[in-house]
Structure 1
Amino acid sequence: MSRSIAILFAAAGTLMLGACSAGDSSLSASQSATVNASAADVWETIGDFGDLDGWHPAVASTEITTGTNNEPGAQRLLTLGGDGGTVTEELQAYDADGMSYTYTIVDGVLPVADYRSTITVMPAGDNSSNVSWSGTFNAAGADDATATETINGVYKAGLDNLKGMFAE
């Protein structure tokens, strides 16, 4: 009898662990690019939280709506080109010396929830830099593959445009 109880508890524990793991799992996306410019020059272009439209081709305008630009708690409203959809994002961390910032999506048209992303610029040799953009999220209003493809597409479009801005 005690063996049956032990097996029952083990099975229940496995089911509970599986349920917790499923609820805690999130999707991820990551893109990186080598840019033909110094890290300082690239950071000068992308390091302003309130100026995503200055380098990302999908963003028609960026407006800081809450807080102070480049300080945690600042929120930006992105108006997208094409259909004019909007995305509100909040700055979570900003490290000018480390050339990195982290933000979350508060609300918007992208098919994600619980989204958190970091963009970082690092030197990569003689007058070049590596920019990485990665995030974690859950799908919302779309399947996992579509949500992941969408976010990877956002990152790739921005990084491809950035490379073109510094092309020789």
Structure 2
Amino acid sequence: MKKFLQFAVAALVALPMISVAHGPTRQTTSETITINAPVDKVWEVIQDFGGIHKWHPEVASTEMQGDETRIITLTRDGSPTITESLTRVEEDKKTIRTRINEMSVIKTIEFNSVETPYYTLPVSTYSSWLSVKEVGGKAEVQWRGAFYRSFMNNPPVPEGQSDREAVEAVSAFYAKGLEGLKAALEK
């Protein structure tokens, strides 16, 4: 009985520590905008995988490597890049799916005695869906993403690499892109 009580006390002490000692969890975000343009016109622009620089204000240029891989260079300091693959085009749903293969390292810091890179976006294992559908005679565009924060170790997390900061960075990138798409199509 004494051993059982010792085990129970040890488990109760360890349980709170186990619950906070974990790596990142999968995060999601979604941004939506309504564009006063025909759905087919919006879909034509969205499915041009190499043309994101024509409507996203943060994308300076796009370099295609084959039909399904693009390297986008951002307008930020240092011209960081994101290499993405087109993983699926669903014509019937007017949806494209992408994933990030690689990103520039913006800087590296030492955090808890480990070299920690900061990437173009503070995410890893990133996938996105960009789709358009008709709503009330207009085009509703939704951009959603699922990812983990880039810092894959247990807390503490370096500044700029938390789950919240990863969601904020991706959401801001989507929102600016959708505003740029709207501006380009409503000229």
What TM-score do the two structures reach when normalised by structure 2?
A: 0.72
Which residue of the partner structure matches residue 147 of structure 2? 137
Which residue of the partner structure matches residue 38 of structure 1? 38
Q: Is 2:24–2:148's contact at 8 Å kept on the other side of the alignment? A: no
Higher Rg of the two aligned structures: 2
- 1:103 partnered with 2:98: yes
Identity of counterpart residues, as a percentage?
Answer: 34
What is the Cα deviation at residue 28 of structure 1? 1.2
SS at match of 2:86: strand
Please, which of 76, 89, 111 is the counterpart of residue 70 of structure 2?
Answer: 76
Matched to 2:125, the amino acid is D
Structure number with higher helix proportion: 1
Q: Is 1:47–1:96's contact at 8 Å kept on the other side of the alignment? A: no
Q: Deviations over 1:23-82 (max 9, x none)?
A: 5731111100011011101111121111111111110111111x3x2xxxx211001113
What TM-score do the two structures reach when normalised by structure 1?
A: 0.80
Which residue of the partner structure matches residue 64 of structure 2? 64
Unaligned regions of 5+ residues in structure 1, if any? Answer: none
- 1:118 partnered with 2:129: yes
Unaligned regions of 5+ residues in structure 2, if any? Answer: 104-119, 152-159
Q: Displaced runs of 4+ in structure 1, greater than 6 A?
A: none
SS at match of 2:61: strand
- 1:159 partnered with 2:178: yes
136-145 vs 78-87, which moves further: 136-145
Matched to 1:161, the amino acid is G
Kindly report the root-mean-square deviation, in angstroms, between the aligned alpha carbons of the 2 structures. 2.8
